[in-house]
């Protein structure tokens, strides 16, 4: 998967990752892919829910040693 | 016969995925009803104050101290064992790690906690004991607190959005993740969870084998353990209930809080109406006045506003701070620290000043059935919950009030 931009939200807790996600995606071009890195377990439900609500495409999520990785494609 | 795989399935169904927040809301309401009968319905801020007072006592500053030790203070114990319950639950679900946020965020956590301490002491209640429990207890002040929380949350959210643009460095910088539960060789974390559960059950048994006051404390420890686990699994969050309509517009959290209050309203009203709940020691009137404080209306509004600012900046209310602290968010450790340090200070210096300024008519103890009768009071609370529900669902569709 080609990642166009990475947003580091490690260490941040709710609501900072979602606010940063919304602000970042707003500045991206349609079709670009964002990789969000985070450590808040809440993001596992918050990020897909935000994508569904805003119409952006939630591609997949992965986990690596305590860091969650989310891939989002801007609509 | 029961197979090992089936036990595993049960464990996974509880700890592999988050629970819907409204399920958490119903379970929390049921435990809140139990707390009502055992002693007093669920609250949190007075527990922070007690812990802070014990800290000052330990430091030799007895003017800010207390002679009630933590291990005899039911609410302080609720707070502590909610943290431990959430810690155990996050170990079981492999969601624990020590999550060290960038320095700016840690400072925000501390300031948010301190503001919550001021708000809770000035307003005579936090989101849990004052609002969530208070609305269900048919308290007039609880409604004023709700208005204060809404305004405070709205203002603080504008600040956070501004901060993100103007001072982005506050939420950037070095962060650390220590002991993540999903890393290799972390099987010991689940075993630690089981050991802690065994230790807590042993502790409860030592309390319940003593006199009736100690039995009450023992049951608080047990219920707190369950509260902490339910909170962590369902990520039940009252900050979100107030904030989300103005942020993403999602209605999940407000609906969960509404459902939870609905359940508690039924239980509390029955007990208040019939005078049930520790009836041997308390007069019926004392039972009716459970979770009703002398804060209607301006006192609650001011306190609620300050608390709303704090909980939004910290990213967790009094209880939200506890379960996130148990999950390992260091920002919320700082929030808890700010809360316990500031609460005794505010209680001694700020609250008397506020009381001397506000006329008594603006800080009254209002039990709604005294004015509207039980039927009128319950109908009013149901109407407010219904309007709140209609607003958040309409806003979820239209996004009229949402910033993101």
For every residue of B338-394, which 3-state class applies, written as one string?
Answer: HHHHHHHHHHHHHHHHHHHHCCHHHCEECEHHHHHHHHHHHHHHHHHHHHHHHHHHH
Give the per-residue pLDDT at B55.
98
Asked if the model's pLDDT at residue B326 lies above 90, the reply is yes
Phi (first) and psi of residue B180, to 5 degrees: -65, 135
**Tokens found for residue B83:** 């943290």
Average pLDDT of the residues in B187-206: 96
CA distance B123 to B225: 28
Average pLDDT of the residues in B285-294: 94
Give the per-residue pLDDT at B276.
84
Average pLDDT of the residues in B264-274: 96
HSE (side-chain half, CA atoms, 13 Å) at B147: 12
Average pLDDT of the residues in B47-70: 97
**Closest chain B residue to the Cα of A41, Cα to Cα:** B95
Asked if the model's pLDDT at residue A53 lies above 80, the reply is yes
Lowest model confidence (mean pLDDT) among B195-199, B211-215, B397-401: B211-215
**Tokens found for residue A14:** 């709710």
B118-168 pLDDT tens trace: 999 999 999 999 999 999 999 999 999 999 999 999 999 999 999 999 999
CA distance A24 to A7: 8
Chain A residues with CB under 8 Å of B329 CB are 13, 40
CA distance B343 to B45: 8
Chain B residues with CB under 8 Å of A53 CB are 248-250
Chain A residues with CB under 8 Å of B327 CB are 41
CA distance B319 to B301: 20
Cβ-in-10-Å burial (0-12, 13-18, 19+) of B232 comes to: buried
Kindly give the pairing relationship between strand A67-73 and strand A57-64: antiparallel
Q: Which residues of B touch A (CB under 8 A)?
A: 18, 90, 93, 95, 97, 99-102, 105, 160-161, 164, 171-172, 175-177, 180-184, 235, 237, 240, 243, 247-250, 252, 315-316, 324, 327, 329-332, 404
Question: What is the three-class DSSP state of B177?
Answer: strand
Give the per-residue pLDDT at B404.
84
Give the per-residue pLDDT at B126.
96
- Contacts of the segment B71-75: beta carbons below 8 A, 24+ positions apart: B71/B217, B72/B217, B73/B47, B74/B39, B74/B40, B74/B216, B74/B217, B74/B220, B75/B43, B75/B44, B75/B46, B75/B47, B75/B50
Give the per-residue pLDDT at B5.
86
CA distance B73 to B281: 18
Average pLDDT of the residues in A34-51: 96
Q: Is ipTM beyond 0.85?
A: yes
For every residue of B179-230, which 3-state class applies, written as one string?
Answer: CCCCCCCCHHHHHHHHHHHHHHHHHHHHHHCCCHHHHHHHHHHHHHHHHHHH
Chain A residues with CB under 8 Å of B160 CB are 15-16, 19
Please say whether the dihedral angle defined by the alpha carbons of residues B115, B117, B122 and B127, taken in this order, is positive or negative: positive
Percent of chain B with pLDDT over 90: 91
Q: With an 8 Å Cβ cutoff, are B247 and A66 in contact?
A: no
Confidence label for B100 from pLDDT (cuts 50, 70 and 90): very high
Q: With an 8 Å Cβ cutoff, are A20 and B243 in contact?
A: no
Give the per-residue pLDDT at B284.
86
CA distance B242 to B120: 16
Q: With an 8 Å Cβ cutoff, are A19 and B252 in contact?
A: no
Give the per-residue pLDDT at B281.
61
Please tell me the distance in Å from A53's CA to the nearest CA on chain B.
Answer: 8
Asked if the model's pLDDT at residue B280 lies above 70, the reply is no
In the block, which residue shows the tokens 């999950």?
A: B327
Query: Could you say which of B97, B172, B248 has the minimum Cβ distance to residue A53?
Result: B248
**Closest chain A residue to the Cα of B101, Cα to Cα:** A11
Give the per-residue pLDDT at B183.
80
Confidence label for B279 from pLDDT (cuts 50, 70 and 90): low
Confidence label for B390 from pLDDT (cuts 50, 70 and 90): very high
Instruction: Indicate which residue of A6, A10, A13, A14 is catalytic.
Output: A14
Give the per-residue pLDDT at B288.
94
Q: Which residues of A touch B (CB under 8 A)?
A: 8, 10-16, 18-20, 22-23, 39-42, 44-45, 49-50, 53, 63, 65-67
Give the per-residue pLDDT at B3.
74
Give the per-residue pLDDT at B2.
67
Query: Could you say which of A11, A19, A50 has the minimum Cβ distance to residue B164?
Result: A19
Lowest model confidence (mean pLDDT) among A31-45, B172-186, B293-307: B172-186
Give the per-residue pLDDT at B1.
60
Average pLDDT, chain B: 95
- Asked about A14 being catalytic, the answer comes back as yes
């Amino acid at each position: 998967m080609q990642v166009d931009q990475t947003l580091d939200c490690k260490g941040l807790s709710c609501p900072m990752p979602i606010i940063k996600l919304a602000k970042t995606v707003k500045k991206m071009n349609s079709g670009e892919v964002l990789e969000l890195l985070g450590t808040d377990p809440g993001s596992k439900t918050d990020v897909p829910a935000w994508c569904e609500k805003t119409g952006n495409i939630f591609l997949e999520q992965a986990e690596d040693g305590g860091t969650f990785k989310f891939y989002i494609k801007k609509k | 016969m029961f197979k090992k795989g089936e036990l595993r399935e049960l464990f996974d169904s509880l700890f592999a995925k988050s629970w819907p927040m409204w399920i958490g809301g119903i379970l929390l309401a049921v435990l809140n009803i139990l707390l009502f009968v055992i002693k007093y319905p669920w609250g949190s801020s007075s527990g922070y104050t007690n812990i802070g007072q014990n800290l000052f006592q330990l430091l030799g500053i007895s003017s800010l101290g207390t002679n009630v030790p933590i291990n005899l203070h039911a609410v302080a114990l609720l707070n502590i064992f909610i943290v431990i319950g959430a810690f155990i639950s996050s170990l079981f679900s492999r969601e624990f790690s020590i999550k060290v946020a960038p320095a700016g965020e840690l400072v925000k956590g501390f300031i948010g906690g301190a503001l919550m301490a001021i708000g809770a002491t000035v307003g005579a209640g936090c989101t849990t004991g004052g609002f969530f429990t208070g609305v269900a207890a048919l308290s007039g002040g609880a409604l004023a607190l709700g208005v204060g929380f809404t305004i405070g949350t709205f203002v603080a959210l504008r600040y956070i959005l501004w901060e993100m643009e103007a001072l982005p460095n506050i939420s950037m910088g070095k962060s650390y993740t220590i002991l993540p539960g999903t890393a290799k060789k972390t099987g010991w974390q689940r075993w630690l969870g089981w050991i802690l559960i065994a230790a807590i059950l042993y502790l409860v048994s030592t309390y319940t084998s003593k006199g009736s006051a100690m039995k009450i404390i023992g049951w608080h420890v047990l219920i707190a353990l369950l509260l902490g686990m339910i909170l962590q699994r369902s990520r039940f969050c009252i900050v979100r209930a107030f904030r989300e309509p103005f942020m993403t517009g999602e209605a999940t959290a407000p609906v969960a809080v509404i459902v939870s209050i609905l359940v508690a309203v039924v239980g509390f009203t029955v007990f208040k109406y019939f005078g049930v709940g520790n009836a041997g020691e308390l007069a019926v009137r004392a039972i009716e006045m459970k979770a009703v404080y002398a804060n209607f209306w301006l006192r609650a509004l001011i306190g609620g506003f300050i608390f709303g600012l704090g909980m939004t900046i910290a990213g967790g209310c009094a209880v939200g701070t506890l379960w996130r602290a148990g999950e390992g968010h260091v920002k919320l450790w700082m929030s808890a620290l700010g809360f316990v340090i500031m609460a005794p200070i505010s209680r001694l210096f700020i609250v008397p000043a506020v009381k001397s300024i506000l006329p008594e008519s603006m800080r009254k103890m209002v039990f709604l059935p005294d004015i509207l009768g039980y039927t009128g009071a319950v109908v009013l609370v149901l109407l407010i919950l219904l309007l709140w529900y209609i607003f958040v669902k309409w806003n979820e569709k239209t996004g009229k009030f949402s910033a993101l």
